[in-house]
């Protein structure tokens, strides 16, 4: 694949990752999502829990970035971040977000729309203190999404705190402005690549405690 006269060339291929049939679908999307996510881990794909998180700002302008899903349970999907970051500021303004998982090697995509709310301090603590010390020191120092003078200055601050921690002069403590968000799905779409671009698209829409299942045209 490459560029020729500004056009992408060599991008044609057949999709043959599987199929989706209504008669074998679970009533709720969680079971199928966990099945697909587990398959991505089993195939040893790189960062199978990576997802695109999309938010909107106060003017309605969208922004997207890649984050890691750290928990999937009956509530929804949890990720962690700095609460002073751009993504967090936009979530606080508008809690409606979108997630996208793309497992290219499996010809699969999952699109999720829902609302994001903060997890409890206890839940954030449990995850924070399970992380490598270096990651936590970085979280304590980095003013995420803000302009910094240089990488060298940031590394200097990280190394200084790390040295103080090693010397017993400071402790690794979860900052008040660091924690998680739980995304509760309202819409979940499963996209399975099929031959001739006639892909399978199955959408789940929440209806109270139940889910409505639709097939969408590719």
Could you give the CA distance from residue 42 to residue 51 in angstroms, rounded to a whole number? 17
The yes-or-no answer on residue 12 being catalytic is no
User: Using CA atoms in the order 137, 152, 143, 119, what is the torsion angle rounded to 10 degrees?
Assistant: -40
| Rounded Cα–Cα distance for residues 20 and 15 (Å) | 13
> What phi and psi values does residue 186 have, to the nearest 5 degrees?
-115, -30
Given the residues 12, 13, 151, 197, the one annotated as active site:
197
**CA 51, 210, 202, 217 torsion-angle sign:** negative
Q: What is the DSSP letter of 15?
A: -
Please identify every residue annotated as catalytic. Answer: 197
């Amino acid at each position: 694949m490459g560029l020729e006269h500004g056009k992408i060339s060599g991008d044609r291929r057949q999709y043959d990752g599987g199929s989706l049939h209504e008669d074998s679908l679970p009533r709720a999307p969680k079971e199928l999502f966990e099945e697909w996510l587990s398959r991505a881990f089993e195939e040893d794909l790189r960062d199978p829990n990576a997802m695109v998180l999309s938010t909107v700002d106060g003017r309605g302008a969208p922004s997207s970035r890649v984050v890691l899903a750290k928990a999937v349970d009956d509530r929804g999907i949890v990720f962690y971040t700095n609460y002073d970051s751009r993504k967090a500021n936009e979530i606080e303004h508008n809690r409606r977000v979108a997630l996208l998982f793309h497992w290219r090697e499996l010809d699969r995509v999952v699109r999720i729309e829902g609302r994001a709310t903060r997890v409890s301090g206890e839940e954030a603590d449990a995850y924070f203190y399970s992380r490598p010390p270096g990651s936590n020191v970085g979280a304590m120092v980095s003013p995420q999404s803000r302009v910094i003078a240089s990488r060298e200055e940031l590394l200097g601050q990280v190394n200084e705190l790390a040295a103080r921690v090693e010397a017993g002069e400071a402790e690794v403590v979860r900052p008040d402005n660091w924690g998680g968000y739980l995304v509760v799905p309202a819409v979940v779409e499963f996209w399975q690549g099929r031959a001739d671009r006639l892909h399978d698209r199955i959408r789940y829409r929440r209806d109270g405690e139940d889910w409505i299942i639709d097939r969408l045209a590719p």
